[in-house]
Amino acid sequence: MRLPRPFYQLPVRFDVGRLRAEVGALPADAWAAHPNGIAGNSSLRLISVDGGENDGVTGRMSATPHLVASPYIRQVLESFGVVWSRSRLMRLAAGATVPLHADINYHWFTRARIHIPVVTNPAVKFHCGAETVHMAAGEAWVFDNWRPHHVENGGAEERIHLVADTSGSSAFWRFVAQSGLPASAWREHRWDPAREARPLTEDNVPPPVMAPAEAEWLLGDLARELIAVDEGAGGEQAIARYRQLLEEFCQDWRQLVALHGVAASAGAAYERIIDALRSRSRELAAGLVMRTNRVEAHRVLEGRVLRHLVSQPATRDPLDSPVFIVAAPRSGSTLLFETLAAHGGVATPGGEAHWLVESLPELRPGAPGIDSNRLSAAAVTPQIAAAIRTRLAERLVDALGQPLGSRQPLLVLEKTPKNALRIPFFRRVFPRARFLFLWREPAENIASIIEAWRDGGWVTYPELPGWDGPWSLLLPPQWQLQRGQSPEAIAAWQWDSTNRIVCDDLAELPASDWTAVAYHDLVRDPAATVARLVAFLGLPDDAALAARLALPLPLSRYTQSPPAPDKWRRHEAALAPLLPALEPTRRRLRALA
């Protein structure tokens, strides 16, 4: 919600000791990875759609079992006298950050977010707009999440906040307006063991068709926030054209709703006018951004309005034919994943989905018949297949990092390096799955694997029976034979084993179900390379993806050091005796082109 100021500190203080006791009593396995896959960020759901383990923002909100088990947290939420939407405990690991972003989607247009720190340290800094604050334990804050904001935990301890979303009542906003009162005037909200609190929660099921008045309200606000990057006459003309586009859409939308109402048979008519607006917006929005946060106009239109004009039940399973990026570790798969995930029709689990397989004990190395990350089709049972599909469906987010709700993506995309060794397994779980095989020249790739081993930040198995010390990155079959080998030799073996297994597995599939791409081509000509992949995947043109490709590709989130063509040469002496044995695999990869 856009607010007049970046921060409001509410004149209330809560019982920190009681909050910490209740949070500490919650089960450790209740914490879930951030839906966007942001490293060091996790959450525990308190209010969610139907009280389930999900991050949706649309539907009947209910208390989860974790909130039911936390009587003081319920009292805290009830004390504000508001109706709550999605609410969670948000944990930020020591040294971790919440990256800079602005909340632009439909949910946030009318909802604010309250932060109540439970566990924190003085080095936790919350930045919003041009201001920075430290939110102390037991305090309550509201901030303007329309402005760009980010959080840094520079301390040695984790940070946990109670974070709750609400549109707020009139009494609540009068209370917010008292921000700035001296601490002596604050209200103390103590734990009352005799009171059974029941916080109010939203029943937020959207109508089949957005009312014309709401569409005009949302689009009118967007039009007023428009500015042009080009401040000259050309920019003014661009703003005028875009405002006219939005105004004409509102007029046509009102007529269409007057004609059809919410009739299911009118779905095609509504989709046509929405698609027309989407297409024209992509043409006219170039160089137009929001005044407050500089977010691109079309991106705001998509997240705030286009995806919410019509609410329809699912007509197909979004997991019918997922796409898996498979690659040896440190070969650029994150760069490829993050690039394709910018497409508005693509849904992802938010990042590397290690939990997708290894949350099932029977699939972890050490389980009967499983001694590596290699999984064959024989490992799939009906129960495992159902669990994998359910886990993936629950974590899907769109290109803006928002849960899908009732919306259906054009394509589901997943990327986890270990899954390069699991192609037959995923093909059994998802019979129509497709695969993008990314490979990188051995010297460059192996040098990066070596650095990952030496860095110590890529440990996947801290304790591996039969191995001295921690193991880094993926675990191919026959890893036991690497005992006593140097990091350089192990890295070369990981590259060779992974690429050979992928080539063998893909050779068993129809050629129409996979394609290969060289990392060199991706970085040399990203636009042409991605265009080929988009065509292979059957995706339409997309403005957000085009905007990403119009600029130099950013570093992926897992880049260890700035890329350079000859960076690998710092390991050249150690690699020289290893490369000749890898030549057969290298030739096999090059032949894929």
| 313 lies in some domain | no
CB atoms under 10 Å from CB of 262, counted, come to 12
8-state DSSP, 70: -
Q: Which of 204, 223, 257 is the last residue of a domain?
A: 204
Strands 83-92 and 200-201: parallel
Pseudo-torsion of CA 440, 444, 445, 447, nearest 10°? 180
C-alpha closest to that of 543 among 347, 312, 271, 287: 287
Exposure string of 328-363, with b = 16+ CB inside 10 Å and e = fewer, is bbbbbbbbbbbbbbbbbbbbbbbbbbeebbeebeeb
Task: Give the residue ranges of the chain where pLDDT is below 70.
Answer: 264-265, 312-318, 405-407, 554-569, 593
Task: Looking at 347-461, list the stretches that DSSP marks H as alpha helix, in order from N- to C-terminal side.
Answer: 355-358, 382-395, 423-429, 442-455
Q: Which of 204, 227, 246 is the last residue of a domain?
A: 204
| 316 lies in some domain | no
- Take residue 267 and report the two structure tokens written for it: 């779905």
Q: Which of 308, 341, 371 is the last residue of a domain?
A: 308
Instruction: Name the residue range of residue 587's domain.
Output: 323-591
538 and 400 assigned to the same domain:
yes
162 and 227 assigned to the same domain:
no
pLDDT of residue 560: 53
| 318 lies in some domain | no
| 2 lies in some domain | no
416 and 286 assigned to the same domain:
no
101 φ/ψ angles, rounded to the nearest 5 degrees: -165, 170
Give the whole-angstrom CA distance, residue 551 versus residue 527: 10
414 and 559 assigned to the same domain:
yes
What is the tally of structural domains in the chain?
3
CATH no. for residue 530?
3.40.50.300
Q: CA distances (Å), 238 to each of 289, 340, 545, in order?
A: 11, 29, 21
Q: State the angle between helix axes of 487-506 and 583-591 in degrees (0 to 180), rounded to the nearest 10.
A: 40
74 and 161 assigned to the same domain:
yes
Residue indicated by tokens 């990256």: 99
Q: Which residues contact 311 (CB under 8 A, 6 or more apart)?
A: 206, 207, 208, 209, 406
184 and 219 assigned to the same domain:
no
- Take residue 356 and report the two structure tokens written for it: 């997708």
- pLDDT tens digits, 77-126: 999 999 999 999 999 999 999 999 999 999 999 999 999 999 999 999 99
DSSP states of 392-406: HHHH-B-TTS-B-TT
What is the pTM assigned to this prediction?
0.57
**Contact criterion met (CB below 8 Å) for 81 and 187:** no
151 and 222 assigned to the same domain:
no
185 and 223 assigned to the same domain:
no
pLDDT of residue 518: 95
| 540 lies in some domain | yes
First to last CA, the chain: 49
415 CB-contact burial (10 Å; exposed 0-12 / middle 13-18 / buried 19+): buried
Exposure string of 543-570, with b = 16+ CB inside 10 Å and e = fewer, is bbbbbbbeeebeeeebeeeeeeeeebee
583 φ/ψ angles, rounded to the nearest 5 degrees: -60, -40
Give the whole-angstrom CA distance, residue 341 versus residue 413: 7
pLDDT of residue 313: 45
* Amino acid at the residue 443: A
Q: Which residues contact 452 (CB under 8 A, 6 or more apart)?
A: 329, 330, 458, 472, 473, 560
515 and 390 assigned to the same domain:
yes
| 317 lies in some domain | no
| 580 lies in some domain | yes
- pLDDT tens digits, 438-481: 999 999 999 999 999 888 888 999 988 889 889 999 999 999 99
43 and 133 assigned to the same domain:
yes
- Take residue 360 and report the two structure tokens written for it: 């099932």
191 and 339 assigned to the same domain:
no
Helix, strand or coil, per DSSP, at residue 277? helix
| 1 lies in some domain | no
CATH no. for residue 96?
2.60.120.330
521 and 564 assigned to the same domain:
yes
